[in-house]
Amino acid sequence: MSELTPDLVRHLASLARIQVTDAEVDRFAEQLSLIVESVAAVNNAVAGDVPATSHPIPMANVFREDVVEPSLTQEQALSGAPDSDQGRFRVAAILDEE
């Protein structure tokens, strides 16, 4: 199985929106390579046609009555936000200037 190189760790961290330091990249690459090597054992476990289980207790079509219930007020919904403006979440620019 493939090793997690520092470059791959950097790429994965960027996909996961986590800024990482060089020291973290090196440490995670080493530790995660060992973990990946170990968990790759799952490939040896399965021979033949075995269905996948995504959910331990299968349930299908879980519905409830479509009844209107009280929900959070706008003020409540914004109460934990780091920044808000005129009843909305306020964030930094979505697009780069370039």
Contact positions toward another protein, by CB under 8 A? Answer: 1, 4, 8-9, 12-21, 24, 28, 31-32, 34-36, 38-46, 50-57, 59, 62, 64, 72, 76-77, 79-83, 89, 91-97
> Distance between CA atoms of 47 and 53, rounded to whole angstroms?
15
Contacts of 6 (CB under 8 A, 6+ apart): 25, 26, 29
Q: Is 44 or 86 the residue whose CB approaches another protein more closely?
A: 44
Residue type, 86: Q
Least distance between another protein and beta carbon 65 (Å):
9
Least distance between another protein and beta carbon 79 (Å):
6
> Distance between CA atoms of 40 and 51, rounded to whole angstroms?
19
Least distance between another protein and beta carbon 48 (Å):
10
